[in-house]
Structure 1
């Protein structure tokens, strides 16, 4: 083999090693970039999910407060009706008791 052919083969092998090293470095960079982007997307998804959870909780709390207020108003109205009915019956009960005491 001539010296020139050996040099060409040696240069070709060197270029191949350089290309392989460059390709490996590019692959590592691509993997690192993909991992970084994936972690950023994961963090964003977690942040979005947390914000959505807080919004849903706030909405549920508002609905519960509204429902509690409605129940409270209804209970107060029922209590008022019972007080009025009791007031009417109180007069009748007093008359009944007085009637029984006077008769005996």
Structure 2
């Protein structure tokens, strides 16, 4: 084999090694980038999930407060009706008691 052919083979082998090294470096970089992007996506997803959870909690608290307010208004209305009924009956009860005391 001539010196020129040996140099050519050596040059091609060196180029192959360089390309292989470059390909391996690029593959490592792609893996590192994909891992970094995956971690960032995971972090964003967690943050979005936490925010969604806070929003759901806020909505549930609003609904609970509205339900409590509605229940309180209904209880006050019932109490007012009971007071009115009791006041009406109080006068009749007082007359009945006075009538019993006077007749005895």
Q: CA deviation at 1:61?
A: 1.0
Superposition pairs of residues 33-44 of structure 1, within 5 angstroms: 33-44=33-44
**Partner residue in 1 for 2:50:** 50
Query: C-alpha distance in 1, partners of 2:21/2:96?
Result: 109
Q: How many residues align?
A: 104
Query: C-alpha distance in 2, partners of 1:38/1:92?
Result: 80
Please state if 1:17 is matched with 2:17. Answer: yes
TM-score, reference length from structure 2: 0.90
**Partner residue in 1 for 2:84:** 84
TM-score, reference length from structure 1: 0.90
**Partner residue in 1 for 2:30:** 30
Q: CA-to-partner distance for each residue in 1:36-69, whole Å, 9 max, x for gaps?
A: 1111111111111111211121111111111111
Query: C-alpha distance in 1, partners of 2:27/2:62?
Result: 52
Query: C-alpha distance in 2, partners of 1:69/1:7?
Result: 91
Q: Which runs of 5+ in 2 are unaligned?
A: none
**Partner residue in 2 for 1:62:** 62
Q: Which runs of 5+ in 1 are unaligned?
A: none
